């Protein structure tokens, strides 16, 4: 019996969706570990599981109606929401997440969630397009800011026939996340040499893996004062590093000069030039997954000035440019130390998909994350901004993802990498 769950009280909110049947197994898993479970079943949830089946497994009354005089007399919705040690929503539908994010309380489930003073863990489940929709991603981002914890969703085939992120996490994954939430930790700490902990591996898809991420621009000196650079902020790469760590990986982040704090738990290696970045990447190998999100300068000045170049009557100075090393291609074609999965980025201003497909073949990587960095109406820019719209390109085709904040892009990408890593699928 789990020492963490023994004697704990869980209030389980069961939302509407075909995945609601997994909530029954979740109840069984929790009770066999010594937890007490009360359940709120939404009206939509009753279309998929019955109050009787839920009650039989919880061994307690199932609550369904906000305005039930009997229920309110026995245990009011305020007491119901505060009597538990943890509130768990499984499945958490797009509708439930939206109402939570907006503070709407129009049924028993949403009222209890608004009235609670305890931690909340949500296990989303919905159609892939609903999950990736900007509205859902905004709601999830807001809920994370409010302190709501999440487990899943997982990638996979759905009842509707589509494939992608949106499947409810498996019951044992949710149990592990519940134990984790009750322990009051932000992340489950990994041992120095992770052993075959199947529960940990189920809950954290990249547990025991080493993920290498590059981020930010490089600065190529012209003289001690001036340099060649680009507009990269490093936000997308840093978000990927944070998401990989949250998925259980040991993460090395090789970063060019940025104005960002490193994500907690991530090993930061700060560099300035492309040559320094390549050296740091090689030193960080071996890795299971490498994500090259840095916007590396293609050229550098052949002979950078040792002193500041003065403006004088000699006119405009002329510089000879030479190519920088191609870090992505170098690592992708390194037969001795090539990571299992190598992911590149393509920042384009025109023919985004076409150029990215050519880059995929030219560089020898497995995936290319391509985005349009051309100036947008109103002056918005992907480089330096907080949002991104990407195309995920492999030899198998192109996936176009909706506009999302960079944290959501990172989470979706890491979820996909976790799926590929678990399957040991090399797609290059």
360/194: higher pLDDT: 360
- Rounded to whole angstroms, the Cα distance separating 192 from 249 reads 11
Write the DSSP symbol of residue 127.
Answer: -
C-alpha angle 76/78/83, rounded to 5°? 95
- Rounded to whole angstroms, the Cα distance separating 19 from 33 reads 22
Q: Taking 90 as the threshold, does the pLDDT of residue 210 lie above it?
A: yes
Q: Taking 70 as the threshold, does the pLDDT of residue 187 lie above it?
A: no
| Edge-to-edge strands, sheet with 149-150 | 62-63, 36-41, 9-14, 86-92, 120-124, 149-150
**What is the predicted pLDDT for the residue at 152?**
82
Highest mean pLDDT among 260-264, 327-331, 417-421: 327-331
Q: Taking 80 as the threshold, does the pLDDT of residue 53 lie above it?
A: yes
134/428: higher pLDDT: 134
As a whole number, mean pLDDT of residues 248-256 equals 94
Residue 327 annotated as lining a ligand binding site: yes
Note if the bond before 91 is cis, omega within 30 degrees: yes
Residue 117 annotated as lining a ligand binding site: no
Q: What is the mean pLDDT of the chain?
A: 83
Residue 118 annotated as lining a ligand binding site: no
**What is the predicted pLDDT for the residue at 106?**
86
Highest mean pLDDT among 278-282, 355-359, 417-421: 278-282
Which positions ≥6 away from 424 have C-beta within 8 Å?
340
Helices (H) and strands (E) in the chain, counts: 15, 22
**What is the predicted pLDDT for the residue at 350?**
81
Q: List the chain domain ranges.
A: 9-182, 198-301+318-423
Decide yes or no: CATH 3.40.1190.20 for domain 9-182.
no
**What is the predicted pLDDT for the residue at 239?**
92
pLDDT band at 158 (very low <50, low <70, confident <90, very high): low
Tokens of 68: 């039930």
- Rounded to whole angstroms, the Cα distance separating 309 from 311 reads 7
**What is the predicted pLDDT for the residue at 271?**
96
**What is the predicted pLDDT for the residue at 200?**
37
118 vs 80, 81, 115, 144, 372, CA distance in Å? Answer: 11, 8, 9, 15, 42
**What is the predicted pLDDT for the residue at 117?**
84
For the stretch 327-345, pLDDT in tens is: 999 999 998 999 999 999 9
Least confident of 19-33, 153-167, 207-221, 297-311: 153-167
- 416 CA to centre of own chain: 9
**What is the predicted pLDDT for the residue at 76?**
61
- Residue 328's nearest CA partner among 352, 293, 353 is 293
98/183: higher pLDDT: 98
- Residue 153's nearest CA partner among 423, 362, 415, 360 is 415
**What is the predicted pLDDT for the residue at 179?**
82
For the stretch 354-394, pLDDT in tens is: 888 889 989 999 999 988 877 665 544 556 567 888 889 98
- Rounded to whole angstroms, the Cα distance separating 173 from 154 reads 10
| Fold matches, 9-182 and 198-301+318-423 | yes
The full DSSP string for 359-418 is HHHHHT-SEEEEEE-S--GGG--STTSSEE-EEEEETTEEEEPPPEEHHHHHHHHHHHHH
- Residue 333's nearest CA partner among 298, 293, 366 is 366
Q: Taking 70 as the threshold, does the pLDDT of residue 250 lie above it?
A: yes
**What is the predicted pLDDT for the residue at 84?**
86
As a whole number, mean pLDDT of residues 217-242 equals 92
As a whole number, mean pLDDT of residues 316-336 equals 92
Residue 308 annotated as lining a ligand binding site: yes
Beta bridge partners of 94: none
What percent of the chain has pLDDT above 70? 85
As a whole number, mean pLDDT of residues 267-275 equals 95
Residue 312 annotated as lining a ligand binding site: no
Beta bridge partners of 210: 250
Q: Taking 50 as the threshold, does the pLDDT of residue 186 lie above it?
A: no
Beta bridge partners of 227: 221
Predicted structure pTM score: 0.54
Catalytic residue among 47, 56, 135, 160: 160
Q: Taking 70 as the threshold, does the pLDDT of residue 396 lie above it?
A: yes
Q: Provide the angle, in degrees to the nearest 10, between the axes of the packed helices 94-102 and 134-145.
A: 50
pLDDT band at 198 (very low <50, low <70, confident <90, very high): very low
pLDDT band at 145 (very low <50, low <70, confident <90, very high): confident
In the numeric block, the tokens 């547990």 are attached to 207
Residue 345 annotated as lining a ligand binding site: yes
- Rounded to whole angstroms, the Cα distance separating 59 from 157 reads 33
CATH class of 198-301+318-423: alpha beta
Known active-site residue 365? no
Q: Taking 60 as the threshold, does the pLDDT of residue 192 lie above it?
A: no
**What is the predicted pLDDT for the residue at 161?**
62
Residue 174 annotated as lining a ligand binding site: no
Tokens of 294: 């840095």
8 A C-beta contact, residue 89 and residue 108: no
As a whole number, mean pLDDT of residues 196-221 equals 75
pLDDT band at 17 (very low <50, low <70, confident <90, very high): confident
């Amino acid at each position: 019996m789990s020492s963490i769950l023994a004697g704990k009280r869980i209030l389980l909110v069961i939302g509407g969706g075909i995945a609601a049947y997994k909530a029954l197994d979740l109840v069984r898993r929790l009770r066999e570990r010594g937890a007490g479970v009360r359940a709120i079943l939404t009206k939509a949830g009753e279309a998929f599981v019955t109050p009787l089946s839920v009650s039989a497994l919880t061994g307690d009354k199932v609550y369904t109606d906000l305005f039930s005089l009997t229920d309110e007399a026995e245990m009011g919705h305020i007491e119901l929401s505060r009597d538990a040690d943890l509130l768990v929503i499984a499945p958490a539908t797009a509708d439930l997440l939206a109402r939570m994010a907006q503070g709407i309380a129009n049924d028993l489930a949403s009222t209890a969630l608004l009235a609670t003073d305890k931690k909340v863990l949500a296990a989303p489940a919905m159609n892939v397009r609903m999950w990736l929709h900007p509205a859902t991603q905004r709601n999830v981002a807001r809920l994370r800011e409010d302190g709501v914890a999440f487990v899943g969703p997982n990638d996979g085939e759905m009842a509707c026939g589509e494939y992608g992120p949106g499947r409810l996490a498996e019951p044992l994954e949710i149990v592990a996340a519940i134990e984790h939430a009750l322990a009051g930790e932000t992340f489950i700490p990994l041992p120095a040499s992770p052993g075959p902990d199947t529960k940990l591996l189920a809950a954290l898809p990249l547990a025991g893996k080493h993920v290498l991420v590059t981020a930010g621009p490089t600065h190529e000196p012209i003289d001690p004062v001036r340099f060649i650079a680009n507009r990269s902020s490093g936000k997308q790469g840093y978000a990927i590093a944070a998401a990989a760590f949250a998925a259980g990986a040991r993460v090395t982040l090789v970063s060019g000069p940025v104005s960002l704090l490193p994500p907690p738990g991530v090993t930061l290696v700060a560099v300035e030039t492309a040559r320094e970045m390549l050296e740091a990447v090689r030193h960080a190998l071996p890795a299971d997954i490498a994500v090259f999100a840095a916007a590396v300068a293609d050229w550098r000045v052949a002979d950078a000035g040792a002193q500041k170049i003065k403006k004088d009557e000699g006119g405009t100075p002329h510089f000879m440019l030479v190519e920088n090393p191609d870090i992505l291609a170098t690592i992708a074609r390194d037969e001795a130390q090539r990571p299992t999965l190598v992911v590149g980025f393509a920042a384009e201003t025109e023919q985004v998909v076409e150029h990215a497909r050519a880059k995929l073949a030219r560089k020898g990587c497995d995936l290319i994350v391509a985005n349009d960095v051309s100036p947008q109406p109103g002056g918005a820019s992907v480089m330096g901004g907080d949002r991104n719209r990407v195309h995920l390109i492999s030899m198998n085709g192109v996936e176009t993802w909706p506009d999302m904040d960079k944290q959501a892009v990172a989470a979706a990408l890491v979820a996909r990498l976790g799926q590929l890593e678990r399957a040991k699928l090399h797609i290059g």
